[in-house]
Structure 1
Amino acid sequence: MDEELGNIHLPRREYTMFCLGENDKGKTDHHDTHIIGVDSVSNDGEEKEADEDLENNFEVADEYKGMSKGMMLCVAYAANIGGTASLIGTTPNLVLVGVLDDRYGQEHPINFLSWMLYSLPAAIVFLIIAWVWLLCVYLDLNPRNWWKDGKCACSCSCTCKKTEEEKVVSKVIKDEYKKLGPWTWAEISVLVHFVTLACLWVFRDIGGYGWGVLFRDGYVTDSTPAILMASLLFCAPSECPSYFCCRPKEDDSPSGSKPSLLNWPAVHKNLPWGLILLLGGGYALAEGCEVSGLSQWIGEQLTVLDYLEVWVLVLVCTTVVCFFTEVTSNTAIATIFLPILAALADELCINPLYIMVPCTVVVTYAFMLPVATPPNAIAFSYGQLTIPDMASVGCMLNCLGIIWANIWVNTYGMALFDLSSYPEWADSENSTCYEEFINATSTTMVPLTTLTL
């Protein structure tokens, strides 16, 4: 007799094994079952009654509970980490570019390509770090299981021989994949538009070259391709055109217009207008702080930290920002802190990117609480996780993220953006940092006559 677990149908004996840990296999007779509330049955009436209450009385073994929590957290953590890899991946990245544009103009080196060159390798490495940490917490790499009875007890999580439950799960995944069917015209069209948009972003500015040089300075930005592709989605058909050579031979429907890939009702319903208002309000708040002099005043008060080494100052700022974002929106934290950090960098004559870029990255490294980022909230909403689960696992990952962001900016970032010097693009009428840097550099140069001697 079959019984149901979600969408998986298993015989009673296989179903019981699915609920057990690996060490309990082979103990699945009717007198030793791990299904809570389902005892051995002696007649059809009792068995039918047990079947009806199975879903409510079912309890999964701890091994599978840990696996479920690990899967939930890995999706949320991967979404947070992957968002740092490109400018459009997460909102704080866009806030960073907006603050740099407003304060320094568009001559700063942060664009779609340069940000990916910096953040994509860092995101890949930190994704591996997060994966290893989750393995240590929930799977066989738990350090508590490395040594038992005076000998190494490490075991590989993967075996060549699949268990019964692994075969069932594999079959379910394959069946669901087959239900997707072949690619449709609309899917291919959206993919083409997206790839074109990514190429336009990447090749707009490549070290002074790219298609952006065809226009005057400041005429096109990263928002230009986005608006262009969004407009084209309102024009491109969602079905194969039925005219001339585009008409398939098997299509005998009358010719006529096809619905577009995107329409205004869909935009009005699905576009997160609240996020747009939040971003706009954030930019307005940053501009108000800048015009009123509040950011400058706060930056001046923070100059008491100038006795610290620059790398220590960056470490302190990233730590403060990372743990602040656990209790509020990462977008709000980026909007409030980045203008202040820019003012602090100008006061201390530090390259603004040296302190703003790692802080922008760690704002998204929020892994402890559901309110920190939307991926955390979505993972928490499924009910498998508790706040202590997320806090205990995420706190360590937060610390690893802070350490990794500082290592990356002090090594690869230092070489990519020349963070050791104050850049000319950051110089303004109210700042003499660039002139002081040039003067200091010229006074430390060895005279040519000394070299010849």
Structure 2
Amino acid sequence: MTSKKSNQAIKPKFIITGLIVFFYIIFFVHLQPEKPEVTYTAAIAFLMAFWWVTEALPIGLTSLLPIILFPMLGILDGKTISNSYINYVIFLFIGGFIMALAIEKWNLHKRIALKILSIMGGSPFMILFGFMFSSAFLSMWMSNTATAMMMLPIAFSVILSLEEIHGESKVKNYSIGLLLAIAYACSVGGIATLVGTPPNLSFLRIYEIIFPNAPEISFGQWITFALPITIFMFWFILLFLYLIFKPKHQLKKLPKSFFKEKHNELGKVTLEQKRVFILFVVLALLWVFRKSIDLGFITTPGWSLLFKHPKFLNDGTVAMFIATLLFVTPSSKKNESLVTWNIIKKIPWRIVFLFGGGFALAKGFIDSGLSTYIGTILANAGTFSTSSIVVALTGIMSLLTEFTSNTATTEMMLPIISGLAVQLKLNPLLLMLPITLAASMAFMFPIATPPNAIIFGSGKIKMIDMIKVGFFINLVAIIVISIATLTLGKVIFHIDINEFPDWASQTIAVIKP
């Protein structure tokens, strides 16, 4: 995570370096001489990736490069590439973020967290569990960054109270584990829903761009697949951190009144909190049960079947419907609704543009033939088994995202991985799903995810602490994601390892050079 200042600043040396390599590729590299657009797309992809990683320009600005460069270099016309920036995934993100901002505006997130902690109790293990549960649950629905920032001051108040009772030296080790638990829970909670973390939404749209004939992946399907991974990783991290950072000396249990008092300080539940909570629950239920969920042994019918054209409805429709209700539902203040138009200013538009830039780049990868070109080069991986390829690519992605933006890396990797899947005649979901999940499973370095950076910025954690613990959690995450994809993913997304799906076969004609 970077500071606001760095997000706005420009870095001339990286701008110049990126442009030098960009023009070198344009004039002196010929990937496919008969199709110069393949090389041009590769040059643009490098320039965007380099400027994204180094933040030579604000991320949102770099994301707009396809609108300028694709038409200029004859890859795609301006109208086609501009359409990549506005789609239902963008509105799914905007609607979900408006809900998150409404929760934050009326302080509902803090009330939820303190309520959970007051129920869990004050023993060291239950405090750890309470903080992780609160962080993971909130991160399923709102920004991981906002969740981590909200949980941090609550954690500090608990740590301070423990230090007052037992002394700083006896609590120091445990406090490290508590802070790491918050960061890691934000990451594992975020993967459970499509709106929980940006890479999930990037996957959803890029998958549809590259494979337009593929079956739709609904919110309900995703949560049915990813939630078990979240639950397993949650319990593993909880037990692992408690084992490593368990207090050497028996700590006195905090009285139950500690969290209750802090919860009571918030006062009675307000009218606004009640109404936002009701809309939040309705949103979650509409997302999860919009489309029928087929688990093989049981099928849950989706509510969209009540409409004449159920396929016309998508998760973006639901998000904007609830967002609209937030704008029109009155609060206790005269002539003011739960959210006002001023909240639009708080939406992270640089992330919206980042999404659009990734979608545009994916479109360029496919239409130029670059995706197929790279997939052909990587096709020698076909000598390995399907499970080996899944594990290897998941591990590579997990390593890459330790050093780069997880969203930008996801948007760069998915078109390449899809091309590889087509060349290997594998169901693309077998490779794209684990790659997407691995993008959020980065636990080793502060720069890997915003929650990691926020917790590290507290000054109470050394980098070596995060590296030693995060390395083993990364390994477990790679294994769990791979196994879940090859087992649970096969059932939920109807994947046959031995069959190349028709919808992917139909795409070959579109992207084959």
Per the normalisation by structure 1, the TM-score is 0.71
For residue 174 of structure 1, report the CA deviation from its aligned partner: 2.4
Q: Is 1:73 aligned to 2:180, yes or no? A: yes
Alignment of 1:278-427 (within 5 A): 278-416=354-492, 417-420=494-497, 421-427=499-505
Q: Which of 159, 167, 173 in structure 1 is aligned with 2:259? A: 173
**What letter corresponds to residue 195 of structure 1 in structure 2?**
V
Q: CA deviation at 1:112?
A: 0.6
CA contact (8 A) 2:362 2:411 kept: yes
- Output one character per residue of 1:1-30: Cα deviation in whole Å (capped at 9) or x when no partner: xxxxx979x99xx987621xxxxxxxxxxx
CA distance in structure 1 between the aligned counterparts of 2:415 and 2:157, rounded to whole angstroms? 51
Instruction: Give the 3-state SS of the residue equivalent to 1:89 in structure 2.
Output: coil
What SS does structure 2 have at the residue aligned with 1:234? helix
Preserved contact between residue 422 and residue 508 of structure 2 (Cα < 8 Å): no
Which structure is higher in RCO with an 8 Å CA cutoff and minimum separation 6? 2
For 1:445, the equivalent position in structure 2 comes to: none
Distance in 2 between residues matched to 1:125 and 1:393, nearest whole Å: 17
CA distance in 2, matches of 1:7, 1:365: 28
4+ long deviations beyond 4 Å = 14-17
Aligned residue in 2 for 1:235: 328
Aligned residue among 191, 212, 217 for 2:304: 212
Kindly tell me the number of residue pairs found equivalent between the two proteins.
345
Range 271-280 or range 415-424, more displaced: 415-424
Structure 1 residues 7 and 339: alpha-carbon distance in aligned structure 2, compared to 1, 3 A threshold: closer
1:186 pairs with 2:251: no
Tell me the secondary structure at the aligned position of residue 258 of structure 2.
Answer: helix
Match for 2:211: what amino acid? Y
1:263 corresponds to: 340
Provide structure 2 residue ranges, at least 5 long, that are not aligned to the other structure.
1-155, 295-300
Does structure 1 conserve the Cα–Cα contact (< 8 Å) formed by 2:210 and 2:363?
no
Contact 1:322 1:366 in 2 (8 A): yes
* Equivalent position of 1:108 in the other structure: 215
Supply the distance in 1 between the matched residues of 2:381 and 2:164 (Cα, whole angstroms): 62
CA shift, 1:430, in A, is 2.6
Aligned-residue identity in percent: 34
Which structure carries more helix by proportion? Answer: 2
Residue 262 of structure 1 and its aligned partner are, at CA, apart by: 0.8
Q: Would the alpha carbon gap of residues 429 and 90 (structure 1) be closer, same or farther in structure 2, given more than 3 Å must change? A: closer
Report the secondary structure of 1:364's partner residue: coil
> In structure 1, the residue corresponding to 2:290 is in which secondary structure?
coil
Matched AA of 2:412: I
> Aligned letter for 2:274?
I
Hey, what's the Cα distance between the residues in 1 that align with 2:485 and 2:441?
Answer: 15
Match of 2:240 in 1: 133
Which 5+ residue runs of structure 1 have no aligned equivalent? 1-5, 20-59, 146-154, 241-256, 433-453
